[in-house]
Protein backbone atom coordinates (compact mmCIF):
# COMPACT_ATOMS: atom_id res chain seq x y z
CA UNK A 1 0.00 0.00 0.00
CA UNK A 2 1.28 3.44 -0.89
CA UNK A 3 1.92 5.72 2.04
CA UNK A 4 2.75 9.40 2.15
CA UNK A 5 6.51 8.95 2.54
CA UNK A 6 6.66 6.55 -0.41
CA UNK A 7 4.71 8.95 -2.61
CA UNK A 8 6.94 11.88 -1.72
CA UNK A 9 9.94 9.76 -2.55
CA UNK A 10 8.54 8.92 -5.96
CA UNK A 11 7.64 12.54 -6.57
CA UNK A 12 11.20 13.71 -6.01
CA UNK A 13 12.79 10.78 -7.80
CA UNK A 14 14.04 8.89 -4.77
CA UNK A 15 11.91 5.77 -5.12
CA UNK A 16 13.46 2.69 -3.56
CA UNK A 17 12.60 0.83 -6.77
CA UNK A 18 14.95 3.00 -8.84
CA UNK A 19 18.61 2.01 -8.98
CA UNK A 20 20.85 5.01 -8.37
CA UNK A 21 24.57 4.53 -8.84
CA UNK A 22 25.66 8.07 -8.04
CA UNK A 23 23.22 9.70 -5.62
CA UNK A 24 23.14 13.46 -5.66
CA UNK A 25 24.62 15.17 -2.60
CA UNK A 26 22.03 15.79 0.10
CA UNK A 27 20.61 19.28 0.07
CA UNK A 28 21.10 21.51 3.09
CA UNK A 29 19.19 24.48 4.43
CA UNK A 30 20.58 27.70 5.84
CA UNK A 31 18.57 29.10 8.71
CA UNK A 32 18.04 32.85 8.95
CA UNK A 33 17.79 34.32 12.44
CA UNK A 34 16.63 37.80 11.41
CA UNK A 35 13.01 38.15 12.59
CA UNK A 36 10.45 38.40 9.81
CA UNK A 37 6.69 38.29 9.35
CA UNK A 38 4.80 34.98 8.99
CA UNK A 39 4.56 32.92 5.83
CA UNK A 40 1.51 30.82 4.99
CA UNK A 41 1.60 27.02 4.94
CA UNK A 42 -0.86 24.17 5.28
CA UNK A 43 -0.88 22.14 2.05
CA UNK A 44 1.22 18.96 1.67
CA UNK A 45 2.31 19.21 5.28
CA UNK A 46 1.36 18.10 8.79
CA UNK A 47 1.18 20.30 11.86
CA UNK A 48 0.27 20.38 15.53
CA UNK A 49 -1.50 23.39 17.03
CA UNK A 50 -0.77 23.82 20.74
CA UNK A 51 -2.81 26.14 22.96
CA UNK A 52 0.03 28.16 24.45
CA UNK A 53 2.22 31.18 23.72
CA UNK A 54 5.29 29.55 25.26
CA UNK A 55 7.51 28.32 22.42
CA UNK A 56 10.12 27.07 24.89
CA UNK A 57 7.55 24.91 26.67
CA UNK A 58 6.53 23.30 23.37
CA UNK A 59 10.18 22.62 22.54
CA UNK A 60 10.69 21.01 25.94
CA UNK A 61 7.54 18.88 25.64
CA UNK A 62 8.53 17.57 22.21
CA UNK A 63 11.85 16.35 23.63
CA UNK A 64 13.58 16.57 20.25
CA UNK A 65 16.68 18.45 21.30
CA UNK A 66 17.61 22.11 21.66
CA UNK A 67 16.83 23.08 18.08
CA UNK A 68 18.01 26.17 16.24
CA UNK A 69 16.55 29.66 16.02
CA UNK A 70 14.96 30.39 12.64
CA UNK A 71 12.72 33.10 11.25
CA UNK A 72 9.43 32.36 9.53
CA UNK A 73 10.84 32.20 6.01
CA UNK A 74 13.64 29.74 6.70
CA UNK A 75 11.55 27.89 9.28
CA UNK A 76 8.70 27.18 6.85
CA UNK A 77 11.23 26.10 4.20
CA UNK A 78 12.71 23.73 6.77
CA UNK A 79 9.27 22.33 7.58
CA UNK A 80 8.87 21.28 3.95
CA UNK A 81 12.27 19.57 3.76
CA UNK A 82 12.75 15.82 4.21
CA UNK A 83 15.41 13.17 3.77
CA UNK A 84 13.27 11.38 1.24
CA UNK A 85 13.07 14.63 -0.70
CA UNK A 86 16.85 14.77 -0.90
CA UNK A 87 17.64 16.90 2.16
CA UNK A 88 20.15 16.06 4.87
CA UNK A 89 17.56 15.92 7.63
CA UNK A 90 13.85 15.68 8.42
CA UNK A 91 12.98 18.96 10.12
CA UNK A 92 10.05 20.62 11.82
CA UNK A 93 9.40 24.27 12.60
CA UNK A 94 8.05 25.42 15.95
CA UNK A 95 6.41 28.71 15.07
CA UNK A 96 6.30 31.90 17.10
CA UNK A 97 3.01 32.24 18.97
CA UNK A 98 -0.01 33.27 16.90
CA UNK A 99 -2.96 34.55 18.92
CA UNK A 100 -2.33 32.12 21.78
CA UNK A 101 -1.29 29.14 19.64
CA UNK A 102 2.09 27.67 18.75
CA UNK A 103 2.25 25.39 15.72
CA UNK A 104 4.73 22.60 14.99
CA UNK A 105 4.88 22.02 11.26
CA UNK A 106 6.73 19.43 9.21
CA UNK A 107 6.21 17.39 6.07
CA UNK A 108 7.87 14.46 7.86
CA UNK A 109 5.89 14.65 11.09
CA UNK A 110 4.19 11.32 11.80
CA UNK A 111 0.44 11.10 11.37
CA UNK A 112 -2.40 8.98 12.86
CA UNK A 113 -2.74 5.57 11.25
CA UNK A 114 -4.38 2.47 12.74
CA UNK A 115 -5.74 0.47 9.78
CA UNK A 116 -2.69 -1.75 9.15
CA UNK A 117 -0.77 -3.97 11.54
CA UNK A 118 2.54 -2.18 10.95
CA UNK A 119 0.84 1.23 11.12
CA UNK A 120 2.75 2.42 8.04
CA UNK A 121 6.10 1.05 9.23
CA UNK A 122 5.73 2.56 12.69
CA UNK A 123 4.52 6.02 11.68
CA UNK A 124 1.32 5.61 13.72
CA UNK A 125 3.27 4.62 16.83
CA UNK A 126 5.62 7.60 16.41
CA UNK A 127 2.59 9.87 16.14
CA UNK A 128 1.14 8.45 19.37
CA UNK A 129 4.39 9.22 21.19
CA UNK A 130 4.60 12.84 20.03
CA UNK A 131 0.90 13.47 20.62
CA UNK A 132 1.13 12.03 24.15
CA UNK A 133 4.13 14.23 24.96
CA UNK A 134 2.28 17.37 23.95
CA UNK A 135 -1.03 16.28 25.47
CA UNK A 136 0.61 15.70 28.84
CA UNK A 137 1.73 19.34 28.99
CA UNK A 138 -1.02 21.38 27.34
CA UNK A 139 -4.80 21.51 27.67
CA UNK A 140 -5.63 21.62 23.97
CA UNK A 141 -3.43 20.00 21.30
CA UNK A 142 -4.64 19.59 17.74
CA UNK A 143 -3.23 17.90 14.66
CA UNK A 144 -3.89 18.56 10.97
CA UNK A 145 -2.40 17.32 7.74
CA UNK A 146 -2.91 16.93 4.02
CA UNK A 147 -1.15 15.48 1.02
CA UNK A 148 -3.06 15.73 -2.23
CA UNK A 149 -1.14 12.99 -4.07
CA UNK A 150 -2.77 10.20 -2.04
CA UNK A 151 -5.87 12.13 -1.01
CA UNK A 152 -4.54 12.28 2.55
CA UNK A 153 -6.31 14.45 5.11
CA UNK A 154 -6.21 14.27 8.89
CA UNK A 155 -7.33 16.09 11.99
CA UNK A 156 -7.29 15.30 15.68
CA UNK A 157 -7.94 17.03 18.97
CA UNK A 158 -6.75 16.17 22.46
CA UNK A 159 -8.18 18.11 25.40
CA UNK A 160 -6.90 17.74 28.96
CA UNK A 161 -4.96 14.66 27.95
CA UNK A 162 -7.87 12.83 26.30
CA UNK A 163 -8.39 12.39 22.56
CA UNK A 164 -11.84 13.74 21.80
CA UNK A 165 -11.61 13.40 18.02
CA UNK A 166 -9.28 11.81 15.48
CA UNK A 167 -9.80 11.21 11.79
CA UNK A 168 -7.39 10.36 8.98
CA UNK A 169 -7.99 9.20 5.43
CA UNK A 170 -5.72 8.48 2.49
CA UNK A 171 -5.06 6.16 -0.41
CA UNK A 172 -8.68 4.96 -0.31
CA UNK A 173 -8.70 3.93 3.36
CA UNK A 174 -9.81 5.49 6.63
CA UNK A 175 -6.62 5.40 8.71
CA UNK A 176 -8.20 6.50 12.00
CA UNK A 177 -11.68 7.33 13.30
CA UNK A 178 -12.02 8.09 17.01
CA UNK A 179 -14.74 10.05 18.74
CA UNK A 180 -17.91 11.75 17.58
CA UNK A 181 -17.94 14.22 14.73
CA UNK A 182 -17.64 17.74 16.10
CA UNK A 183 -20.03 20.60 15.43
CA UNK A 184 -17.33 22.30 13.36
CA UNK A 185 -16.98 19.23 11.14
CA UNK A 186 -20.75 19.13 10.68
CA UNK A 187 -20.79 22.81 9.70
CA UNK A 188 -18.13 22.14 7.06
CA UNK A 189 -20.02 19.14 5.67
CA UNK A 190 -17.26 16.68 6.52
CA UNK A 191 -18.00 12.93 6.59
CA UNK A 192 -20.15 11.70 9.48
CA UNK A 193 -18.67 8.35 10.54
CA UNK A 194 -19.75 8.14 14.18
CA UNK A 195 -19.33 4.75 15.87
CA UNK A 196 -18.09 3.07 12.68
CA UNK A 197 -15.13 0.71 12.52
CA UNK A 198 -12.33 1.61 10.12
CA UNK A 199 -13.67 -0.89 7.58
CA UNK A 200 -17.23 0.42 7.92
CA UNK A 201 -16.04 4.02 7.72
CA UNK A 202 -14.05 3.29 4.56
CA UNK A 203 -17.08 1.64 2.96
CA UNK A 204 -19.27 4.64 3.78
CA UNK A 205 -16.75 7.01 2.21
CA UNK A 206 -17.42 5.36 -1.14
CA UNK A 207 -21.10 4.39 -1.02
CA UNK A 208 -22.37 7.75 -2.20
CA UNK A 209 -23.62 8.91 1.22
CA UNK A 210 -20.76 11.32 1.76
CA UNK A 211 -18.16 13.24 -0.21
CA UNK A 212 -14.42 12.85 0.15
CA UNK A 213 -12.78 15.75 2.01
CA UNK A 214 -10.26 17.72 -0.04
CA UNK A 215 -6.92 19.22 0.96
CA UNK A 216 -8.58 22.45 2.10
CA UNK A 217 -10.65 20.66 4.75
CA UNK A 218 -7.91 20.54 7.43
CA UNK A 219 -7.21 24.25 6.96
CA UNK A 220 -10.88 25.16 7.21
CA UNK A 221 -11.32 23.04 10.33
CA UNK A 222 -8.16 24.48 11.86
CA UNK A 223 -9.62 27.94 11.35
CA UNK A 224 -12.61 26.95 13.49
CA UNK A 225 -10.64 25.06 16.15
CA UNK A 226 -7.53 27.24 16.44
CA UNK A 227 -5.48 28.91 13.66
CA UNK A 228 -5.59 28.55 9.89
CA UNK A 229 -1.90 28.66 8.87
CA UNK A 230 -2.94 29.36 5.30
CA UNK A 231 -4.06 32.84 6.35
CA UNK A 232 -1.11 33.98 8.47
CA UNK A 233 0.05 36.69 6.06
CA UNK A 234 -3.33 38.41 6.36
CA UNK A 235 -3.11 38.68 10.16
CA UNK A 236 -0.68 41.61 10.45
CA UNK A 237 1.49 39.78 13.00
CA UNK A 238 4.81 41.17 14.25
CA UNK A 239 8.18 39.95 13.02
CA UNK A 240 9.52 37.06 15.08
CA UNK A 241 11.57 33.88 15.10
CA UNK A 242 10.73 30.29 15.99
CA UNK A 243 12.79 27.14 16.40
CA UNK A 244 13.73 24.40 13.92
CA UNK A 245 14.18 20.88 15.32
CA UNK A 246 15.44 17.70 13.71
CA UNK A 247 13.04 14.77 13.59
CA UNK A 248 14.38 11.29 14.34
CA UNK A 249 13.85 8.28 12.13
CA UNK A 250 10.38 6.83 12.58
CA UNK A 251 11.50 3.89 14.73
CA UNK A 252 13.70 6.08 16.94
CA UNK A 253 10.77 7.72 18.76
CA UNK A 254 10.73 6.41 22.32
Q: What is the mean pLDDT of residues 41-62?
A: 98
Q: What is the mean pLDDT of residues 56-67?
A: 97
Contacts of 209 (CB under 8 A, 6+ apart): none
Look at residue 13 and tell me whether its pLDDT is greater than 80: no
Angle, helices 55-62 vs 119-135, to 10°: value is: 140
CA angle 10–105–64, rounded 5-degree value: 100
Q: What is the mean pLDDT of residues 75-103?
A: 93
Look at residue 165 and tell me whether its pLDDT is greater than 80: yes
Q: What is the mean pLDDT of residues 164-188?
A: 97
Coil, strand or helix: which one is 19?
coil
CA 6/CA 156 separation, integer angstroms: 23
Lowest mean pLDDT among 50-54, 78-82, 162-166: 78-82
Q: What is the mean pLDDT of residues 28-46?
A: 95
Torsion of CA 154, 115, 205, 153, to 10 degrees: 20
Q: Please, are residues 223 and 40 in contact by the beta-carbon 8 Å criterion?
A: no
Selection from 81, 1, 75 nearest residue 39 by Cα: 75
Selection from 27, 31, 5, 9 nearest residue 18 by Cα: 9
Coil, strand or helix: which one is 242?
strand
Look at residue 219 and tell me whether its pLDDT is greater than 80: yes
Bridging pattern class, strands 68-71 and 140-147: unpaired
CA angle 209–110–182, rounded 5-degree value: 40
Q: Please, are residues 126 and 160 in contact by the beta-carbon 8 Å criterion?
A: no
Name the DSSP letter for residue 52.
-
Burial class (CB in 10 A: 0-12, 13-18, 19+), 117: exposed
Confidence of residue 7 (pLDDT cuts 50, 70, 90): low
The pTM of this model reads 0.89
For the beta carbon of residue 56, count every other beta carbon within 10 angstroms.
12
CA 108/CA 90 separation, integer angstroms: 6
Lowest mean pLDDT among 19-28, 107-116, 170-179, 192-201: 19-28
Output the average pLDDT for the chain: 91
Selection from 215, 253, 252, 5 nearest residue 120 by Cα: 5
Look at residue 31 and tell me whether its pLDDT is greater than 60: yes
Confidence of residue 27 (pLDDT cuts 50, 70, 90): confident
CA 179/CA 196 separation, integer angstroms: 10
Q: What is residue 2's predicted lDDT score, i.e. its pLDDT?
A: 53
Look at residue 28 and tell me whether its pLDDT is greater than 50: yes
For the beta carbon of residue 80, count every other beta carbon within 10 angstroms.
19
CA 153/CA 151 separation, integer angstroms: 7
Amino acid sequence: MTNIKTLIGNLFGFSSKKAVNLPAPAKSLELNTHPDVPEDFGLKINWFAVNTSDVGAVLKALNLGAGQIANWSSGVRSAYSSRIGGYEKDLAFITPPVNGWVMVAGASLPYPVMHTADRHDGIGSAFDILYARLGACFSDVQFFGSYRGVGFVAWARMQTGEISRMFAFGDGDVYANIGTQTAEEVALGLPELNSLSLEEATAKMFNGETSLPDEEAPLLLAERWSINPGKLTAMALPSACGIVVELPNTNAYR
